[in-house]
Chain A
Amino acid sequence: MSINKEKDFGTPASPATATVNLEIDGFKVTVPAGTSIMRAASSIGIDIPKLCATDSIEPFGSCRLCLVQIEGGRGMPASCTTPVAEGQKVITQNPRLAEVRRGVMELYISDHPLDCLTCSANGDCELQDMAGAVGLREVRYNPVETHLNALKDTSNPYFTFDPSKCIVCSRCVRACEETQGTFALTIDGRGFDSKVSPGQNQPFMESECVSCGACVQACPTATLMEKAVIDNGQPEHAIITTCAYCGVGCSFRAEMKGEQVIRMVPNKDGKANHGHSCVKGRFAFGYATHKDRITKPMVRASIKDAWREVSWEEAIAYAASELKRIQAKYGKDSIGGITSSRCTNEETYLVQKLIRAGFGNNNVDTCARVCHSPTGYGLKQTFGESSGTQDFDSVMKADVIMVIGANPTDGHPVFGSAMKKRLRQGAKLIVIDPREIDLVRNSPHVQASHHLKLRPSTNVALINALAHVVVTENLTKDDFAISRCDVASYNKWKTFISDPRHAPEATASITGVPAAEVRAAARLYAQANNGAIYYGLGVTEHSQGSTMVIGIANLAMATGNLGREGVGVNPLRGQNNVQGSCDMGSFPHEYPGYRHVANPETNQLFEKAWNAELSLEPGLRIPNMFDSAMDKTFLGLYVEGEDIAQSDPDIQHVHAALRSMECVIVQDLFLNETAKFAHVFFPGASFLEKTGTFTNAERRISPVRRVMTPLAGYEDWEITQLLSNAMGYPMNYSHPSEIMAEIASLTPTFAGVSYAKIDELGSIQWPCNDDAPAGTPIMHVEEFMRDNGKGLFMLTDYVATQERITPMFPLILTTGRILSQYNVGAQTRRTENNQWHSEDRLEIHPHDAQDRGINDGDWVGIKSRAGETVLRALISGRVQPGVVYTTFHFPESGANVITTDNSDWATNCPEYKVTAVQVTKVTHTSKWQESYQDFSETQLDLLAQGMSHG
């Protein structure tokens, strides 16, 4: 349920194109064949009473309120389950129907507490509404058996389950099955004893429930209710905005009481999520008002000093003076900045503009450096555009889905649910991952046809082997490749890939994947009507990350799996605005729209527009910034919303680099790890406090709308503007829409984008221009985006990483994410999501654990050539022998103490996914952890001192 009642048609729309004409209560209506009578009636404003039907799930026919009569037909069919028929005449209201509906309602109410006035759903209860609609005035029964004393389950931190209010409509059960695909809920018992049961009659928190909120959303009563609503009452207004967690970019309605967010409710009209959500977006927004939020600007001369709260004027002036001082002393190129994939397009655009035009250099980079920079490179080279090719809905047309190095059910849960739905419909699945992710066999009714459990770092050998099979077994779609791609490159690639060194039999010793499995998987993908590839950081975060992206692109082109629904190459983006931050020119060598800074035409375009002299030299990448800091040539850094001191590899090197800088300016919500090394702190605004746009993994530009006043007074773009003005480069935007107008005027793929159009359409997928005024769901339909319109095949020789196991470091560590926590955890660790995951653990195979005398839960030291940390062990068959795995959500885990400085050859994307380590049983934390603990405590102390004096 939600306020500002979204129209509920009762049953899902019919996809049919043929139409049917009928008459409902004397009104003529034409609807697609297969539409329910209920939906047809609703479409002309006739609302038939209903309780078990809602248009997000399939009809069920259980409540029996929606009965109608059909002229010439027998009995009273349920309008939710009865499809329309040509010429049908339907009666939705007459005394007989009213009598039966009242009879049904009377039964409901005979087993329902009559505490409406004090009920949390008061005013937002479909049962209440329907009792009113059918005119129930009396309950004549003297019930003996009831459920009124059923115990409430409050185990979930975000919602309660009160079975005494349950009407057993099964909407929650069906939402869990159909929408989320977890099947955590069922109806236990039968007849009058039927009751909703999480797992096997367990409390919600002990069941398989992933707290996505679909059940709460579906519940028509107070049975499943947000605790925030119980505590605060019903929200009074709602504003549509976009989630700030992962790259799915779900649309939400922020339901408000004044400036207080009561709940985040997934927007039914959201095109990325269609009314679905995950535990993060739905519930984990409390960080925005967490007590750790810093709401006053702060400065200090040295990181050994206590912080000092100052006015915005002073903070801005101090930061500008420091940056100017450093430039004066060490040269123009001695400062730079890092944009954030967490911030809006407008804010990102402004930061890079400040750096290029205000700082006068191109020392701007972004966290995409450490995640999807190889995607940008690889797809730009082959397809001509640095983005995924599809919209999310495309997956519903895929017949074979290949998931490479991604874990959608944890990392991109809402898209993961859509994918699982398609798999339950019968699509086949190939998983390429060193670890057994949930999709392999731990998702109900989903099982991978092939799990190619490769050794970390051997991606390219495997993709080559798959391509080898496709080419040598004549499974290529030559029509497509020849007509759509650069033929010379195709032929050259075919010759290359046909070489026996790429045969699965030859690569098996490298990848560890049996040749027969590779051949079978290649055939399955190549022979699918629609084969779709989805990949994540398991592809990019390697020394050959870019090569692998190219290998994927080659395979998709050779099999003709591009340019239509159901196919494509789809990077699953980690952060909410990775795509956007890349689009907005966050890389040191590219202006917005991926145009090289050295291109004189582009240079002139931007010089003119920005009225500034712009450098033709690409700037420093993040790792180069650190190296230059150590060389004392790069000493001032403006970091907006990124925690490089936790998230970047070889963290001890990062910390040393930060220590050696003279002015580190951090703009963030919290005193994050990087801020502990900072001299200026600008308190930023959360996504709830600002206006702008995010661009998700499917290139969808969605609105972010301010629902509350920024706690520190400014939206982030305003802070950047203040800094820019103080630096002497004037910016005078009065609203982010003006920034978007500027972006649109300078970026061909955004030419048609405006706030007005976003308001009108809800969201827009770029490219959006005169050719595609409403945006582009599927790319490369007629031709590729490359200059000559042809896809380019590139050669992808496998080169082993230098990171190799040795007797000293005999195991490979790889990393990933978990559903309940988000990246560095700055947000989710400040929510109740910790109840699901309160520490990072090291997953280790039973054999490797046995060899080392490690038991489940033991403290183990993980040592690489870069450093050492200590975690608790989790013995698990999900990892293969020789491979260990951990998440990286807690700073004290020090996952990046171990990761090394190896990186992708083309983009410097760190090789996070491959670190040779040794694991041993230990009794106490590592030296690094001890020093981290000391440092962190000192810094928090310095913060407390400043605040108490402020």
Chain B
Amino acid sequence: MIKTIYVPCDASAVSLGADNVAKTIQTEADKRGIEIQMVRNGSRGLFWLEPLVEVVTGQGRIAYGPVQASDVPSLFDADFINGGAHALSLGLTEELAYLKKQQRLTFARIGITDPVSLEDYLAHDGYRGLNNALAMPPAEIVKNVTDSGLRGRGGAAFPTGIKWNTVLNTPSEQKYIICNADEGDSGTFSDRMVMEGDPFVLIEGMTIAGLAVGATQGYIYLRVEYPHSHKALNTAIGKAYAAGYLGDNILNSGKAFHLEVRLGAGAYICGEETSLMESLEGKRGLVRFKPPLPAIKGLFGQPTVVNNVISLASVPIILDKGGNYYRDFGMGRSRGTLPLQLAGNIKHGGLVELAFGLTLRELLYGFGGGSATGRPIKAVQVGGPLGAYLPESQFDTPLDYEAFAANWTVLGHGGVVVFDDTADMAEMARYSMEFCALESCGKCTPCRIGSTRGMELMDDIINGRDLAKNVPLLRSLCDTLLNGSLCALGGMTPYPVLSALNHFPEDFGIHDHANVA
């Protein structure tokens, strides 16, 4: 019987040597006259175990990891292809606590299937959502999404169903679906994992979105730094066209949806939806003011849905199992699941998809296992480079949009970057200003000039110059940025800066709290 071996093709696994491992396994099997079937699956998202090699056994898939090429002969010697014991054996993959404790809805197939196999996708409940959607009038599709409580996973958490409804109700001859795949937040990778690990789910989600609002053209705006995603998406799109899942007559329904991947040019600001549309139109990535909302006047002036990868990839399961199924996960107004991305100074970095409601502390310690250095965790930046730093005192905040907002923190796209007690939070605040200066599109004054002044101001503060003047000035600048900026880049840079200042004043040379208030 031919044995199936899984070696992830995900960029994180590849960067840890997965390609070499796969090649070595094949060579070794050939050498030993063992016939194997090699499947390059997505990543399970347990990065400290990558490359995570799995073999299919009667009990299920057994995992080995992290595997290096040099381990391969010993794995064969241990008969790993039949689940034989080995120092790297992790047992049944599904029984790994990190995975077992998760609630994988959006990531249900990732790591399990061959990402670019349509057959595999179909065999694992793929395109069931689309089939249901094809039988529904557009408003009913939108209603399912509204009922699910899904909110934009890009960070703004705007209810997806409401956005879709606006586009549905804005008459136009041409509407568009844009997938924002410009995943630029530091410490985030869930979009990439979807695109590399299960591109069909995104294609299906976008197709359903097209049916829901009456859009016949979709664009995936993909950051150029994701070549593996680019390849996987184009391969999957090609197969979807060939099989009639995309095109002028989707599954003989008479309905059309076309999809194309467009590459960005390396600007963080093009992840902001209006800049993204400017860029898609072939212009400089400059932020547009709102209103008009993209849902009314978006790409090329037409009604446009702009959704994040995770939002769109969550749509198929909603249409498959119903809005209520999805809504039953989560807490408060945060419904469903959020794929959290654990990164930075963390022992067990990776992808953790959970229903909203777990606390940050449970995530950091229950999943993450504490810091990688073993030192105390000093601060956690949640929600990307524009997210606030949470000190230990806020670790019991439940992962919930509203609970975070109440703390003047953001959940954002679910990126969690961990710092131990050696981190200098003043340097981190300076970095936030520098990031803003580097990535500012330059349109609005607060961000264009303020970020550079902020960086200079932080240099003065770090060097202990005139804190009595400069610290209040930093607050004043943050006030200008917060209230005056055109988009979230300038508008949210104060989050990391002020949270660092407020929670770690000593790093700013402030020992008398009266100065900080």
Contact = CB atoms under 8 A, between A and B. Distances in A.
A59 B289 contact: yes
A64 B445 contact: yes
A100 B473 CA distance: 13
B446 A104 contact: yes
Contacts of A110: 449, 453
Give the most central of B447, B469, B480: most A CB within 10 Å.
Answer: B480
A141 B437 contact: no
Given A64-B445, A99-B479, A192-B448, A142 B460 contact: yes
B111 interface: no
B445 A63 contact: yes
Contact of A107 (B291, B438, B449, B479): B449
Interface stretch (B46-54, B212-220, B481-489): B481-489
A170 B449 CA distance: 15
Interface in B440-468: 440-453, 456-457, 459-460
B483 A107 contact: no
Contacts of A111: 449
A194 B291 contact: no
Given A110-B453, A192-B437, A67 B460 contact: no
Given A107-B449, A141-B473, A142-B460, A190 B440 contact: yes
Nearest to A61: B289
Contacts of A64: 444-446, 484-486
A145 interface: yes
B477 interface: yes
Contacts of A145: 452, 456
A8 to B, nearest CB: 19
B321 interface: no
B452 A191 contact: yes
B448 A191 contact: yes
Interface in A388-406: none
Interface stretch (A73-81, A596-604, A731-739, A770-778): A73-81
A192 B449 contact: yes
Contacts, number: 109
A167 B448 CA distance: 10
A45 interface: no
B277 interface: no
Given A63-B445, A64-B445, A107 B480 contact: yes
A103 interface: yes
B443 A103 contact: no
B453 A76 contact: no
A107 B479 CA distance: 13
A171 B479 CA distance: 26
A104 B289 contact: no
A257 B267 CA distance: 50
Contacts of B445: 62-64, 104, 107-108, 167
Interface in A93-143: 96, 99-100, 103-104, 106-108, 110-111, 140-143
A103 B479 contact: yes
A60 interface: yes
A82 B439 CA distance: 26
B456 to A, nearest CB: 5
A82 B290 CA distance: 8
Interface residues of A, number: 40
A61 B486 CA distance: 7
B288 to A, nearest CB: 8
Contacts of B443: 60-62, 170, 194
B476 interface: yes
A584 interface: no
Interface string A44-76: 000000000000000111111001000000011
A99 B476 CA distance: 9
Contacts of B284: 186-187, 190
A164 to B, nearest CB: 14
A916 to B, nearest CB: 46
A190 B442 contact: yes
Interface string B224-253: 000000000000000000000000000000
A145 B440 CA distance: 15
Interface in B314-338: none
Contact of A191 (B442, B456, B459, B460): B442
Given A62-B443, A192-B440, A100 B456 contact: no
Give the most central of A61, A76, A78, A104: most B CB within 10 Å.
Answer: A104
Interface in A687-731: none
Contact of A76 (B290, B438, B469, B483): B483
Given A142-B460, A187-B284, A191-B448, A168 B483 contact: no
A67 B291 contact: no
A500 to B, nearest CB: 40
A191 B445 CA distance: 9
Contacts of A75: 483
B440 A103 contact: no
Given A103-B476, A108-B445, A140-B469, A190 B486 contact: no
A546 B104 CA distance: 80
Interface string A152-177: 00000000000000011010000000
B484 A143 contact: no
A82 B486 CA distance: 12
Contact of A193 (B269, B442, B479, B485): B442
Contacts of A192: 437, 440, 442, 448-449, 451-452
Give the most central of A141, A167, A170, A191: most B CB within 10 Å.
Answer: A191
B211 to A, nearest CB: 29
A103 B484 contact: yes
A446 to B, nearest CB: 16
Contacts of B469: 140
A107 B456 contact: no
A186 B284 CA distance: 10
B444 A191 contact: no
Contacts of A16: none
Interface string A183-214: 00011011111100000000000000000000
A114 to B, nearest CB: 16
A240 B498 CA distance: 55
A81 B292 CA distance: 9
A424 to B, nearest CB: 12
Contacts of B267: 190
A144 interface: yes
Contacts of B451: 191-192
A83 interface: yes
Given A75-B483, A100-B483, A107 B446 contact: yes
B289 A194 contact: no
B56 to A, nearest CB: 50
Contacts of A143: 453, 456
A60 to B, nearest CB: 7
Contact of A187 (B442, B446, B450, B459): B442
Nearest to A189: B442
Nearest to A194: B442
Contacts of B453: 107, 110, 141, 143
A145 B441 CA distance: 17
A78 B289 contact: yes
A165 to B, nearest CB: 14
A106 B479 CA distance: 13
Give the most central of A99, A103, A144, A193: most B CB within 10 Å.
Answer: A103
A600 to B, nearest CB: 63
Interface string B478-514: 0110011110000000000000000000000000000
Interface string B246-275: 000000000000000000000101000000
7 contacts: A61-B444, A63-B445, A78-B486, A104-B484, A141-B457, A167-B445, A190-B269
Interface of A: 59-64, 67, 75-76, 78, 81-83, 96, 99-100, 103-104, 106-108, 110-111, 140-145, 167-168, 170, 186-187, 189-194
Given A82-B291, A193-B442, 4 more contacts: A62-B444, A100-B479, A141-B473, A190-B441
Closest 7 A/B residue pairs (Cβ):
A103-B480, A194-B442, A61-B289, A191-B440, A81-B289, A107-B449, A64-B484
